[in-house]
Structure 1
């Protein structure tokens, strides 16, 4: 998979130049391409974005009104699709920060091309009340991308973006925005609301639970939002979050025959986790497993992997199986050593085993249940 920085390529710069020049004969395409493209291949993603946005600042009309007209003309011509819109968003967020009356409606026009979720955030810091007024009005916009911008752009912990410390400290001002969107007809919008609720749960679990409980009782399309929005608390085994979703944290469930096969593997290989569960009473169970990956300084905290949701009949042994590959990923390096695997049901750890990871192809060995 190509690195995201490669999206901001010389080819994209040439396309963006062509689309802006097509919208205005006065746009200096040559100067823009030279400023934006020189040395671009040596830069990382954010630096590339800043370079292209800076080139736009140097070559777009000095008048904010004229720059707005040029960008809108490019949009009307069908341009600025996909990644080509991102440097334009960054340009608007910097060069037009002093003119929110022009910039905010322009970001609403740009966001359907890809997303303006990053560009809206500086305006929340610089022009909080005005930006919130726009966001409230956008909750009823006919375009789902604009409605999603309301939720996604205000996420306190939006990935790849600086945190919104105002909403990390106190997310209550955005709850009204989320309330207006939780029943949105668009699943695209509802998923954003769920992700926003999950962000809130990391800093204010009680507020997230109160909100999720209210939504679970009153919303018409909020079931997914509640489930997805409480996923971090559920993975942590939070009893109240589990209860909102219909899982009994204290339900008596026993585990047997827990093992990994093979129990010694090389980096990049796969082991199969098997076990059986038996519930004393008929029980709805959320079943996960946690892998404690080895780090440079020993085992890490468990990484939770969802396995399944299953109704367990009273007294009946139910078998489960899941393959897990211990391979390097962009976000994770596998180190040799014992890796503890725990099985949890309804947030309670029921048992654990280990798989030994080696750098070389190992002989078969037996799993150790601990």
Structure 2
């Protein structure tokens, strides 16, 4: 029987996470951490497990937010070299991202800086979304900058975290409120050679079409020129899948 993804986050996982923390923070109370989890962790669904893990970390760590993030930075480990691996090699970092998602939306600088480092080992789109809601203009300007970053995982994050309909997340309409920046951000990525970035941009635009077909066409028409790259052509085709489906049903 195939192991469900949620079941990777069990009590054995919690012990392994605590052991990573103890290496850099010997005061960590492993027994107390496990006692907060053991009655219910393995009975919960995926997201509830992440919330319980993150909230239990907060309860056990006698540190403020800035100090906690500084501790987490010490256990991140090496950056992933490829675009993939976030759910295989970096999966163990999910509760760390959930911690930032739950408690980091009042500290823009620390939370965004950590999210940038986190995405190099795992992914940062979920923990960035509350920050985007709390600091929309600052976030959009930062994401625009990240869309030009030398690290491909950071460039992907610039697109992925601003998706209107990101799976496993609440809808986020900041892209529509700051459409000029959003359009420029995606345009910076439209010719990217990395396939995960191409998929993110295409999914972003497919989300956009569902809520605002006119703005979708504004971006696509600007990209469709005689010099359009093969990467951009692929993005446009993949981004137009909902449009094609709707047109074929008429």
**Normalising by structure 1, what TM-score?**
0.60
Structure with higher RCO (Cα < 8 A, 6+ apart): 2
Q: Deviations over 1:150-201 (max 9, x none)?
A: 1110000111100013446775541121111111121111110000000001
Task: Name the CA shift for 1:200/1:14 in 2 (closer, same or farther; >3 Å).
Answer: same
User: Counterparts of 1:236 and 1:191 in 2: how far apart (Å)?
Assistant: 21
Contact 1:182 1:225 in 2 (8 A): yes
Partner of 1:234: 244
Partner of 2:12: 11
Matched, 1:65 2:66: yes
Matched, 1:186 2:199: no
Partner of 1:223: 233
**RMSD over aligned Cα atoms:** 2.3
Partner of 2:206: 198
Q: Deviations over 1:29-86 (max 9, x none)?
A: 2222222333111111121111001011112342333222211110147899522111
Q: How many residues align?
A: 240
User: Counterparts of 1:204 and 1:77 in 2: how far apart (Å)?
Assistant: 40
Matched, 1:116 2:124: yes
Partner of 1:43: 44
Task: Name the CA shift for 1:78/1:113 in 2 (closer, same or farther; >3 Å).
Answer: closer
Structure 2: gaps spanning 5 or more residues? 81-85
User: Counterparts of 1:74 and 1:219 in 2: how far apart (Å)?
Assistant: 43
- Which is strand-richer, 1 or 2? 1
User: Counterparts of 2:62 and 2:157 in 1: how far apart (Å)?
Assistant: 27
Matches of residues 299-314 of structure 1 in structure 2 within 5 Å?
none
Structure 1: gaps spanning 5 or more residues? 238-346, 350-370
**Normalising by structure 2, what TM-score?**
0.87
Contact 1:171 1:200 in 2 (8 A): no
Cα offset for 1:16?
1.3
- Which is helix-richer, 1 or 2? 2
Partner of 1:155: 163
| Pair member with larger Rg | 1
User: Counterparts of 1:84 and 1:130 in 2: how far apart (Å)?
Assistant: 29
SS at match of 2:76: helix
SS at match of 2:182: helix
